Structure formats: structure tokens, C-alpha cells
Chain A
Amino acid sequence: MSAFVWLTILTALRILARNRMRAGLTMLGIVIGVAAVIAMVSIGEGAKQAVQAQIATMGTNVIIIFPGVTSASGVRGSQGSAVTLTVSDALDLKKRIPLLSDTGWAKRDVMQIVYGNRNWNGTVNGVSPSYLTIRDWSFTSGDPFTQTDVESAARVALIGQTIVGNLFEPGEEPVGAVIRIKNVPFRVIGVLAPKGQSAQGSDQDDVIFIPFSTAERKVFGTSFIGSVGAMFGSTDQVEDLPMAAEQIREVLRARHRLQAEQEDDFTIRTQVDIGKVQEGTSETLTMMLFAIASVSLLVGGIGIMNILLVSVTERTREIGVRMAVGAKRRHIVMQFLIEAMTLSLVGGVLGIILGVTGAKLTTLIAGWPTIISGNVILLAFFFSLVVGLFFGLYPANKASRLNPIEALRYE
């Protein structure tokens, strides 16, 4: 860079240091704007990744089919309230739709579980063996149940980490232990690996799986044999989800003999749909913060313009002298633009520091995950530069158009 630019930057910094209070107040808008951008993107990215991680715990390329109608507001009648989905629906879907790599089904209820002198109200799920693979459950010890267990309606159970924590002593091996569900003894044959919270915020580890046949015949006391609480399907490719969902709809409508004008008596959700809902909420938040950031940057920019106009007036004589000794228009324009950009850049850097600190504090205090990316910092830096440039243009241009004689005579 030329000596001219360096010296101008130095001069700008000196003027800034001289009027620290004034410069500080001027920069406030930029500082807040940039800090808001950094904080908003860091928190937004953190939330997005957390949600994606939660959605991934649902399994891979999963389609869920609930019985019952979805009202316009999206609220479903309580799960299983309508007896519209059956095991034979699920089997037929798999047979008729090649896109589906597998289908599974489940039915659940909250029940008292007893082990020794401890008890716990946990969610008991009667599931098909395929359910465990579709939902990507893995095991810390033991094994899943087999087709033989299903056919014989064996009293075997797989238990989640929350159940383990509430019924067993630390270090005690649950596999092989006998627990009682609604007073029926079950042998624990596997312990599930933890999944944490679901995207909707429920504890996915507070769960017991038993064979669907066992649940129907020995625990739930179901009046409609073969009815399920929910069906699950999976595809090999995520792109196939919408097509598979549409085909499921057609098959089910045909099987349920629904007329053209009748509504579906079931609801289909794909993993992608659920992800979209979650991203939607974090997008609303991001938009709001974006609005705050833009307003702050605008206010900051106007502040810079204002202070520069004051500076041009205060330094009219100086401008006159510079013109007299040979400053061309572009020299004067450059000088004030560099001053404006120095102001906005210093503000931007302070804003970056404040924003990063804010994001870190959010993680520390509220426990929200945040992700600070280098790109955002670069963007904030660039943004403050542009604000300085844009709002510096008018004062700089004004200064450069002064008449040297009048400027020299200015009191």
C-alpha cells in the first residue's frame, strides 16, 4: 500500500484516539449490529446442528404413519385413538411398495415396571423386530429379540438407559435379570444404547421394548388384535421419501376403501418433514435477530455519516490547506472514506469480540450449543467495512467539493 494510504489510516486512528468518547458513541450501533449478527448466527447454527443430531436419532430415512386424521392446526387425535392401522397394512405396504426397504410397527402404553423393591412408570412398546433396525437402535449389552421370540410371544424385554438408571444399582448387569411389567415377569435380554432427547424434547431412553405379539396377548389387553399405534417404513435413499410417502398414501386409501371425497384416516410424516418444522422455528428466530442486526447497522452507519459531516465542518480549514498544497479531489475523498472505514472497522472488531463473548456466555450460562464459524466473522468484518464505505461516501464527497478559497477562509 502506498505511503498515502498508510499515513491516512494512521491519521484516522489518531483522530479516533483523540475523540475516544465521540468515536465510541458513534461506533456503538456498529458494535451492537455486528455483535448481534455473530451471536445470532452462532446460536442459530448451534441450534440447527443440535436439531439435526436429534432428528438423526430417529433413524435413517424414516417414514412414520399414525392412525387418525390431522386437523388443520396440525394437532392429531391422541395416538391410537382410532383403530385404523393394522399389522396387515404394514405387511401389505412392504409387499406392494418396492421403494420401502422395510416396514415395522409399534404400540405403546405407560406401565408400572418393578424390579426387586424398585418401581418406575415407563413407556412400554410392543414392536416388530424390524422396528429396531428402522429406528437405528443399538445395544450396549445383550441382543435384540428374534423371530422365534415373536412367534412364541416370549416374555423378553429390551430396556433403555433411563430404565436401567431407575431400576438397577450402578454397575449391576441388567441382562438376565427378571423385571415385572404389569405383574408379568419378563427377562431382560438387551440394554439399549442411549439416544438422548428427541427433536420434540422427550426422553428417548425412557423406553422398554417387548415383542409386539407378547404385548398384544399378555400385557396390553387389546380389544382389536392386529391394530397398531404407529407404523414405520424406511427407504434406502433420502430422496425417495416423498415418493414412498405418496405411494403409502395411495395403498392405505385403497385398503381402507376411502372414497375420493373422504379424508385420509391416517397421517404420514417423513423424517425430512420433521426436520423442516424444527428448522422453521430456528429460522424465525434467525430472521428476528437479522432484523435487529440490520437496524443496528443502519443506525450505526447513519451515526458514522453524522460524525463525519461534523468532522468535515470542523476541519474545513484543514481541507482548504490540503487542497492548497495540492490534494486532488480523490485524495480528500480517500481521506474521509478511510476515516469512516476505520471507525466502522474498529466498531466491527469490537462487535466481533462482543458477539463471540456473548455466544460463549450463552453456552456457559444457558447451556445452548453455539457454533462460531470463521465465515461469520469474516462476513461481519466485511459488513462493517461496507457500512463505513457506504455511509462515508456522502461526507467524503462533500468534503472533496469544497472551494479551497472559502475553506481556507472558514472560521
Chain B
Amino acid sequence: MMSALIQCEDVWKIYRVGDMEVQALRGLSLTIEQGEFVAIMGSSGSGKSTLMNILGCLDQPTKGRYRLNGIEASNLKPDQLAGIRNQQIGFVFQSFNLIPRTSALENAQLPLFYRGLSLKEQRAQAAAALGRVGLQGREHHYPTQLSGGQQQRVAIARALVTSPSLLLADEPTGNLDTQSSQEIMRILDQLNRDEGITIILVTHEVDIAAYAAREIVIKDGQVLSDRLTKTRPTPSPVGG
């Protein structure tokens, strides 16, 4: 039997701030299969980002187990986690997090940089990734020469350049206007459908969450509701 891509069992994350204890995650359990498109919703401070960090191997649970692709990630060392992030995970952040004064191509190249590929291969793969997000011809633009939507597309190119099995997006449209948001969501939707990349997305907006096939609501560090949303939006006639 093939195991699920993501298995969280009774995951706790407790932050200690001085004498205070903040329980950001409180015994959260969750299973996500390969190829799913999941939207995580919930009020501010409910623990969404904390969960995403653990799922992305940027952080580890205080208690409980987290398995990614069958590998127990809750007790790996920092460099092992870095290796997993490099091989299996792509991140898209709310604030894009591109390296300033560095071209779109070089930003998209970044994960390959740590794979020890030849420069030629790095460039070719990064250029292809930029092409997939509709940025061909913008390879040598700097972040400041790109719109917010374009910057986020560079970030998506950077996330998918390594062909990850999991793409994590924490409020990817939080800093974008409606039109750019729709563009970004269409790209993510396409990646999920055409390439089978598992996508987990945090959002506050219902129409953004509507792109996903499954909606998980988090409250106080626990899963409040978890349901499959039957309808997927038909590809928009606008643009495309």
C-alpha cells in the first residue's frame, strides 16, 4: 500500500515566550494524498503558518509525528531538513521573497544552485520554469522591474524548478490585486492538474480557496472542519 504524501499525527507546537506558553498547534492530525489541491483557512493566529512551516520542513513539531513521503521528519537534523526542502518542496510566500538586485533567471535558479548542477543545466531548467509561468523574455529583469504578479510568478518558477512533489503557498495572493491573484491561481491550478503537483494553500479569501478541491479550516491549532469541495472552477474565459 502506498502511504500518503503527508501524515500528521497529534502534532503539537508550543512556543515559549518568557514565562508564557503559546500553543500554536494542539494535537493536530491530518493526511493529504499525493496530487491533492488543499486550501487551509482559518482566522489570524489560528496556527496556519505554523502548520505550513512544519509541513515544509522549515520547523519541527514540539510533540507528535510528521511524515512526508513516508519519511519521519520530526527528528531530522537541520541539514537533512534542508536536503528534503531542496529535493521535495517548493515554497511560495506572501511577500514573494525574491533576492533583490538579482535577475528573474538567477532567482529561479536558486534551488538548483544547491544541487550541484552545472551552470548550463541550472540556466536551462530555470529558463524553462520561467516559461511555464509565462515569463519567457523576462529572464534578465530584476524584481524591481517586475509587477507584483510577475514577481510572484518568478517565485512560483523558483518553487517548481526542482519538480517538487509538494508546493506550499502561505497566502500567495495576500499582496496582489484581484487580477494578478486570479492569474497566480490559474497557474497553480494548472500545475496541480497537468503535473500532479500536490498544492497546499493558505488563504483568507473564499474565491481563492474555491480553486482547491479540499478545504481545511483550522481553529486554535486544531482542525475544525475538513471537506471536499465538489465543484472546481471551470477555466476562466478571460485571458488564458
The answer to whether residues A3 and B83 also contact, given A404-B58, A405-B59 and a CB cut-off of 8 A, is no
Specify which of B53, B56, B58 lies most central, judged by the most chain A CB atoms within 10 Å of its CB: B58
Q: Which residues of B contact A (CB under 8 A)?
A: 53, 56, 58-59, 78-79, 82-83, 85-87, 91, 93, 97-101, 110-111, 113-119, 122, 158
The answer to whether residues A321 and B99 also contact, given A326-B82, A328-B83 and a CB cut-off of 8 A, is yes
- In the assembly, what is the distance between CA of A405 and CA of B60, in Å? 11
- In the assembly, what is the distance between CA of A6 and CA of B120, in Å? 13
The answer to whether residues A405 and B87 also contact, given A328-B82, A329-B78 and a CB cut-off of 8 A, is no
Of residues 1 through 49 on chain A, the ones whose CB sits less than 8 Å from some CB of chain B are: 2-4, 6-7, 18
How large, as a class, is the contact surface on chain A?
A: 20 to 34
The reply to whether A327 and B58 contact each other, CB–CB distance below 8 Å, is no
What's the least CB distance linking B187 to chain A, in Å? 19
Contact of A326 among B83, B97, B101, B117 (CB under 8 A): B83
As a 0/1 sequence over residues 295 to 323 of chain A, the CB contacts with chain B under 8 angstroms (1 = contact) are 00000000000000000000001101111
What's the least CB distance linking A274 to chain B, in Å? 63
Q: Cβ of B101: which chain A residues have Cβ within 8 Å of it?
A: 18
What's the least CB distance linking A32 to chain B, in Å? 30
Q: Cβ of A318: which chain B residues have Cβ within 8 Å of it?
A: 99-100
The reply to whether B116 and A405 contact each other, CB–CB distance below 8 Å, is no
**Is A325 part of the binding interface, using a Cβ–Cβ cutoff of 8 Å?**
yes
Q: Cβ of B83: which chain A residues have Cβ within 8 Å of it?
A: 326, 328
**Is A408 part of the binding interface, using a Cβ–Cβ cutoff of 8 Å?**
yes
Q: Cβ of B78: which chain A residues have Cβ within 8 Å of it?
A: 328-329
**Is A269 part of the binding interface, using a Cβ–Cβ cutoff of 8 Å?**
no
The reply to whether B97 and A331 contact each other, CB–CB distance below 8 Å, is no
Q: Which residues of A contact B (CB under 8 A)?
A: 2-4, 6-7, 18, 317-318, 320-331, 404-405, 408
The residue in chain B whose Cβ has the minimal distance to the Cβ of A6 is: B119
What's the least CB distance linking B237 to chain A, in Å? 36
Given contacts A3-B122, A325-B111, 12 further A-B contacts (CB under 8 A): A4-B113, A7-B113, A323-B58, A323-B82, A323-B85, A324-B91, A325-B110, A327-B82, A328-B83, A331-B114, A408-B58, A408-B97
Specify which of B83, B93, B118, B122 lies most central, judged by the most chain A CB atoms within 10 Å of its CB: B93
